[in-house]
Amino acid sequence: MNKDHLDIRCESCIIRELNSFNALNKEDLSKISDVKQVISFKKGEQVFIEGQKLKGVYCIKSGSTKLSKISDNGNSQIVKIARKGELLGKRSLISEESTNLDAIALTDMELCFIPKEKILELSENKSFMKALLINISNELKKSDNEFVNLAQKSVKQRLSHVLIYLNNEFGNDSEGFISLYLKRKEIGDLIGTSKEGCIRMLSSFKEKKLIDIKGKRIKIINKDDLSKIDLGLIS
Amino acid sequence: MNKDHLDIRCESCIIRELNSFNALNKEDLSKISDVKQVISFKKGEQVFIEGQKLKGVYCIKSGSTKLSKISDNGNSQIVKIARKGELLGKRSLISEESTNLDAIALTDMELCFIPKEKILELSENKSFMKALLINISNELKKSDNEFVNLAQKSVKQRLSHVLIYLNNEFGNDSEGFISLYLKRKEIGDLIGTSKEGCIRMLSSFKEKKLIDIKGKRIKIINKDDLSKIDLGLIS
DNA sequence: CGCTCAATTGAGCAACTTCAAAATTAGTGG
DNA sequence: CCACTAATTTTGAAGTTGCTCAATTGAGCG
């Protein structure tokens, strides 16, 4: 973790187009910019841990983080992956609670930290509140949908689903491999299976020429059939 | 479904203490009361279906409803149970989308329907917006937690969990049985397992004297051990 | 080169599902 | 209230899926 003040003003930051801050006017943005702090995290570092009291929210300027939780059984489960433009910690700030999830950087990251007090001031701003409400509301919908998928679909279906998701959301490198590198264990934690289960299913996908694997990297070859597997149309 | 205008005023309705409406003043409540409609549903009737465009929200005056979804595989999954005091349909109204879940009455119900337009007017009310935000935010937290439980816990653990939940939230009758009656299939849909799996686990709980079963009704006998099973401390 | 962490593979096992049949219960109309 | 029908619950048995543990291979790094 490293604090750094060589940063741009929020008013001219394009990231805000992606989150609730786009509901703010120049004045409010300027106020935020005056107090924000840019913080860097290296891949693998912990941004915050479940149960921690946050003193503000983090706007992701670059990089991605997994939001996960250790279950009573001691297994880790990834609930979601947050990336550029998302606000971390907003939920716990709204409910005035400690965080519910661990946040661990999946890549090197740059975050803008905005203290609690400033966010609370913004709660006077109706359009900001509305944007926040819509944002949380959409997250709730996504969470509900993932819940149903997890409950009702097989490992094979969920793996197909997550590969397509990673490919769509994080893009691919020059050779077509998914840009965001996740360990097998992490893919397992994402779909709720063991790393071995995940590895075996990936091999089977490779045999069927649905994907290609080079070392740790994964490339989707037959997206259509992966989709069909996800939807249970073929197996 | 049956419309009925013999109803009390929102200002004096105690239900509102349980939801975001408790952030409203007398004036706003009065405005709502003028336009609200009381609607009754019988057990088993559908309040709304996934994909339906709602014209307002429903405040649950009495009774409970399951919020469920049919997965791509054709299985039903219950995402949550809503009861007295909860607002149905608020999420889809906020995001201006069609509903994401089916709502089917688990008991006879009385709902107060409040048209969209009135709710939108209330979006000018800061304390209402704030209450709504906190409410949705808490639901998101719950949903995330249930997601982790589902992913990481065994059927046995999840069944223990849900029995304790039903007992705590819906209370028991004069003989100590859980008041809210759910079919075995529905308990299965709630914990993400087949009805047979659910039945077999219930029998095993009965054998171990953790619960008692009389026909369709379930009574918790040893809550402590059920809790321990849920937490994975014993099996 | 040696160390460490991650990925892979095999084998046995446990959990859960599915299908079919039988038993019980609930609902309905007379 | 009874009889009949439909729905639900229960049980058995066989089959899958996915898990765990242990051993091996491979990759990255100083």
- Could you say which architecture CATH assigns to the domain A2-150? Sandwich (2.60)
Q: Looking at residue A7, what is its pLDDT? A: 66
Write the pLDDT tens digit of every residue in A108-146.
999 999 999 999 999 889 999 999 999 999 999 999 999
Chain A residue with minimum CA distance to B92: A137
Asked if A139 lies within 8 A of B140 by C-beta distance, the reply is yes
**Where do you find CATH 2.60.120.10 in chain B?**
2-150
- Shortest distance between the Cα of A62 and any Cα of chain B, in A, equals 24
Q: In angstroms, how far is C9 C1' from A200 CA? A: 9
Chain B residue with minimum CA distance to A194: B152
Q: Looking at residue A13, what is its pLDDT? A: 87
Q: In angstroms, how far is C24 C1' from B217 CA? A: 14
**Cβ-based neighbour number of residue A33 at 10 Å:** 18
Write the pLDDT tens digit of every residue in A58-115.
999 999 999 999 999 899 999 999 999 999 999 999 999 999 999 999 999 999 999 9
Cα–Cα distance between B190 and B175 in angstroms, integer? 25
Instruction: Output the pTM of the full model.
Output: 0.94
Q: In angstroms, how far is C17 C1' from B149 CA? A: 20
Write the pLDDT tens digit of every residue in A171-206.
999 889 999 999 999 999 999 999 999 999 999 999
> Taking the domain B153-230, which CATH number applies?
1.10.10.10
Asked if B129 lies within 8 A of A129 by C-beta distance, the reply is yes
The beta strands (E) that lie in chain A are given as 2-4, 37-41, 46-48, 56-62, 65-70, 76-82, 87-88, 102-105, 109-115, 211-214, 217-220
Q: Looking at residue A4, what is its pLDDT? A: 47
Q: Looking at residue B4, what is its pLDDT? A: 46
- Regions of chain B where pLDDT drops below 70: 1-7
**Average confidence score pLDDT of chain B:** 93
**Where do you find CATH 1.10.10.10 in chain A?**
153-230
Write the pLDDT tens digit of every residue in B57-86.
999 999 999 999 999 989 999 999 999 999
Size of interface A-B (CB pairs under 8 A): 129
User: What per-residue string of b and e applies to A101-114 under the rule 16 or more CB within 10 Å gives b?
Assistant: bbbbbbbebbbbbb
Kindly tell me the burial class for residue A211, based on how many C-beta atoms sit within 10 Å of its own C-beta (0-12, 13-18, 19 or more).
buried
